[in-house]
């Protein structure tokens, strides 16, 4: 088969905070090589990227994220007196509103589903209809980091608590189509490259609160990880275990795992490099011929 031969699929985009920027590179390579995305289910950052792709605004968001620097990233964080989370999440939500239309999920360009978790009983909650913005905010509410979000009288948190890679949600969204799953939690695949440091000039330009947030990112002189690094790596190790069992049990037809371990929760200012990691992952599947094998196997699988 050639890249002009199309195969219809549904994509399951996993959570992983800033690591999920790799989804952009993966989607671009897949769609250039004959993968026709008919639906997207997303958890956390996967829900954000999925909604942007379904709304046809992903390119605009990509331009923004490629230009985002460390100071701009810190400005998106809004610390609150710790009650239910370190950050309210309002600034991030308002920024996302610039790219995600105020519309119902049913009116997006593709079938789409966001996954969150009911904090009371731990059950997976699927959002495949109704207004798109609030479920996305619930899906990204990492426990202890962002405050829970109330939707339909339920308090909801990050979908990664119940479904780090929303494979079953993808199958329900587009029954009969093969599922391509993207897992961001493989700790055996460290990020390859040098992350951009925050230079001294940038530090001097930060206000008092932003400098405090910066300290929360950094290790101390003894090498003790900073708060953000501790949260990021702890979440990764927990969800990596869930992902292994989930993928084995739910058996997606194809799994992509970009090398993004080491990218921090809030390293959105590393956009170029994280997108490139996603591109490398998907392109390696193209170059090895594995994508062609997948396309031949599922070429006749149409909804």
Per-block mean pLDDT, blocks of 10 residues, the chain (303 long): 78 94 98 97 97 97 93 79 67 93 94 95 95 94 85 91 94 97 91 64 48 52 58 67 88 97 85 96 97 90 48
Q: What does the pLDDT read at residue 59?
A: 97
Q: What does the pLDDT read at residue 244?
A: 87
Any bridge partners for residue 37, and if so which?
9
Could you tell me the pTM of the whole model? Answer: 0.87
44 has catalytic annotation: yes
In sequence order, what DSSP letters do the residues of 228-295 get, joined into one string?
HHHHHHHHHHHHHHHHHHHHHHH--SEEE--S-BT--TT-GGGHHHHHHHHHHHHHHHHHHTHHHHHH
Q: How many residues would you count in the chain?
A: 303
Q: What does the pLDDT read at residue 225?
A: 56
Task: Look at the block and give the residue holding tokens 């993207």.
Answer: 182
Kind and range of the H or E run holding 139: helix 133-139
* CA–CA separation, 22 and 279 (whole Å): 7
Of the candidates 287, 257, 262, the residue with the CA atom closest to the CA atom of residue 22:
257
Supply φ then ψ for residue 156, to 5 degrees: -120, 150
Q: Which two tokens stand for residue 50?
A: 């999925």
158 has catalytic annotation: yes
Q: What does the pLDDT read at residue 178?
A: 97
Q: What does the pLDDT read at residue 201?
A: 44
**What sign has the CA pseudo-torsion 268, 196, 216, 81?**
negative
Q: Which two tokens stand for residue 245?
A: 């069992």
Q: What does the pLDDT read at residue 72?
A: 86
Cβ(140)–Cβ(89) below 8 Å: yes
Q: What does the pLDDT read at residue 198?
A: 54
Of the candidates 276, 259, 265, 196, the residue with the CA atom closest to the CA atom of residue 230:
265
Of the candidates 87, 263, 250, 96, the residue with the CA atom closest to the CA atom of residue 168:
250
Q: State the catalytic residue, choosing from 8, 116, 158, 163.
A: 158
* CA–CA separation, 55 and 131 (whole Å): 13
- DSSP category for residue 225: P
């Amino acid at each position: 088969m050639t890249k002009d031969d199309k195969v219809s699929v549904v994509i399951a985009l996993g959570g992983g905070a800033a690591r999920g920027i790799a989804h952009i590179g993966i989607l671009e390579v897949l769609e250039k090589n004959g993968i026709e995305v008919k639906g997207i289910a997303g958890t956390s950052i996967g829900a954000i990227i999925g909604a942007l792709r379904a709304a046809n605004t992903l390119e605009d968001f990509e331009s923004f994220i490629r230009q985002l620097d460390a100071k701009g990233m810190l400005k998106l964080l809004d610390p609150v007196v710790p009650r239910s989370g370190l950050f309210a999440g309002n600034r991030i939500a308002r920024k996302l509103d610039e790219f995600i239309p105020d519309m119902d999920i049913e009116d997006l360009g593709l079938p789409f589903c966001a996954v969150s978790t009911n904090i009371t009983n731990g059950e997976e909650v699927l959002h495949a209809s109704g207004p798109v913005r609030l479920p996305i905010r619930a899906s990204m509410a990492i426990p202890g980091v962002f405050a829970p979000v109330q939707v339909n009288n339920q308090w909801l948190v990050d979908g990664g608590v119940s479904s780090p890679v929303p494979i079953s949600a993808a199958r329900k969204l587009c029954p009969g189509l093969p599922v391509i799953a993207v897992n961001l939690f493989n700790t055996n695949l460290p990020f390859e490259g040098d992350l951009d440091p925050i230079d001294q000039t940038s530090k001097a330009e930060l206000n008092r609160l932003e400098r405090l947030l910066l300290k929360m990112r950094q290790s101390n002189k003894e090498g003790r990880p900073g708060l953000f690094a501790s949260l990021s790596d702890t979440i990764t190790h927990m969800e990596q275990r869930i992902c292994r069992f989930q993928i084995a049990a739910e058996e997606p037809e194809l799994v992509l795992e970009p090398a993004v371990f080491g990218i921090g929760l809030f390293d959105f200012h590393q956009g170029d490099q994280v997108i490139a990691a996603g591109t490398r992952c998907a392109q390696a599947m193209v170059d090895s011929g594995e994508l062609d094998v997948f396309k031949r196997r599922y070429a006749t699988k149409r909804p």
